[in-house]
Amino acid sequence: MQSVTVELEAASTMELVNALSTIATELAQRQAPESAAACLELTETLVAASDMQESALAGFIGRVDATREPARWGYPSTQAWLRSRLGMRDSRAKERLTLARQRHRLPEVCAQLAAGELSYGYAATVADSVARLDDHDCAEAEATLLGFVEQGFSAGKVAAFGRRISDLIAERDDAEDAPDEDTKRGYDKSWLTTTRSLDGGRYVKGWLNPEDAAIWDGTLAPLAKPAGPDDRRDLAERTAAALSSVLSGGHKASKVTVICDLETLTGGNAPARLTDGTPIPAAQARRIALSAGVSPLLLGRGNTPLYLGYRERFASAAQRQVLETLYSSCAVRGCEVPGTLCEVDHVHGWALGRSPTDIDQLALTCGWHNRFKHSRPDQIQITKDQDGRYVYRLLPPADARARNRTGPPGSIGPPDSPALDWAA
């Protein structure tokens, strides 16, 4: 059992965090008391303490985000750093990042959170509700939503009130004649988010700026008209069909890669998969094969594609198809950009003359990590997994590694640990 002695007022931020880490380690190893009543009381006390820690965490994340420090460590965004380095679910990473970014506009929320008078759940709910309001509306919404908290409404109800406030603001500003809500919130670039459903489909949400909206309307509107008097699809279904037609090149053949065993095509039950790993039932794979050309891809032991060497600067279409079967996402460990959206990377640097455009010298990386790798090669560790795929692992910046090697007082972990040593 370790002993922790800290003079709170004189201790640095680093010393407080280290002491808290030591206490948390000891607490995690303790067995829960036999008394359920005692456990209930301890749970409420511990959650309240955790909420106050979230206040400090929001300050840390806010500083990291404002200075774009994650990019120096090889992460394209603060959210990617929280998700990959700290193992947060994407929803929790977004929640914490939103609170960190809204702290300066929510003084009362932050004061109550730091004092233990407001739970993290309420604070995150209010931050999300005001994230796209202007400063004046944000101040009024903060006061209104905190009033609902004081009345004892749940966080879910407060979130619903937050959405209603946004609707009322839109009505106040005459949303039908004024720019739409997303434009008023500061967006000038179009955006789309997609979420994979359990059955392999996708939910799509987004916003288009006026220029892109005009392109959307001009392209899809003619294709979304009813096909005839017997077309019973509603407008939403016809629009989706029109979008699919455009994405597939209209009457042009589109490329969909389905990976399966020969036995599957000849009647077996082994499932196939798409390049992103989504499983496809054997029967569905056979239906796709009936209406598409089949291009065989010969795989060697360990599902490693056999050698397909071309010594040109750019990978061929055939080589890219092979790579997409190998890499469902960016080769950088923890990066979730789908392989179909990645760039072909010469593992050892084509410009350096060490990496010909041969299939066993190529990998897929997203555009951001491709540029990061070639600008900071000392922060990428390259290995191969048992199936022959290259795995890129991010390393800390050189100055952080030097600090860890010397192991100054107050550093986190042993001298060789990849953890950080922040100044208080």
Position 114, amino acid: A
Tens place of pLDDT per residue across the chain (424 aa):
667 777 888 889 999 999 999 999 999 999 999 999 999 999 999 999 999 999 999 999 999 999 989 999 999 889 999 998 999 998 899 999 999 999 999 999 999 999 999 999 999 999 999 988 889 899 999 999 999 999 999 999 999 898 888 878 777 765 444 445 544 444 457 888 887 777 777 888 888 876 677 678 778 877 787 776 677 778 888 888 888 877 766 544 445 667 777 777 777 888 887 766 777 788 777 766 655 555 555 454 455 444 444 345 567 777 888 888 888 889 999 888 888 888 888 888 755 455 667 778 889 998 889 889 888 888 999 999 888 889 999 999 888 877 766 554 444 343 343 333 333 3
Give the pLDDT score at 276: 66
Give the pLDDT score at 208: 81
For the chain, the 3-state helix, strand and coil shares in percent, each to the nearest 5, are 50, 10, 40
Give the pLDDT score at 211: 61
Measure the CA–CA gap between 224 and 244, rounded to whole angstroms.
11
Helix (H) or strand (E) holding 195: strand 191-196
DSSP label at 103? G
Which one, of 322, 358, 345, lies nearest residue 392 by Cα?
A: 345
Position 418, amino acid: P
DSSP-assigned beta bridge partners for residue 192? 206
Helix (H, G, I), strand (E, B) or coil at 383: strand
Question: Are 239 and 224 in contact, with CB atoms under 8 Å apart?
Answer: yes
Measure the CA–CA gap between 211 and 222, rounded to whole angstroms.
18
Give the pLDDT score at 411: 41
Residues 6+ apart with CB under 8 A from 245: 223
Measure the CA–CA gap between 352 and 217, rounded to whole angstroms.
47
Residue whose structure tokens are 């699919």:
244
- Joined together, the tokens standing for residue 34 give 């036999």
Give the pLDDT score at 95: 94
Measure the CA–CA gap between 88 and 70, rounded to whole angstroms.
15
Q: For the purposes of burial, counting CB atoms within 10 Å of the CB of 91, is it exposed (0-12), middle (13-18) or buried (19 or more)?
A: exposed
Residues 6+ apart with CB under 8 A from 13: 422, 424
Q: Is the pTM of this model over 0.85?
A: no
Give the pLDDT score at 354: 56
Residue whose structure tokens are 């948390």:
24
Give the pLDDT score at 98: 94
Give the pLDDT score at 408: 45
- Mind giving me the DSSP string for 131-185? TTS-HHHHHHHHHHHHHHHHTT--HHHHHHHHHHHHHHHHHHTTTTTSPPHHHHT
**Ramachandran assignment for 371, one of left (phi > 0), alpha (psi -120 to 50 degrees), beta (any other):** alpha
Position 192, amino acid: L
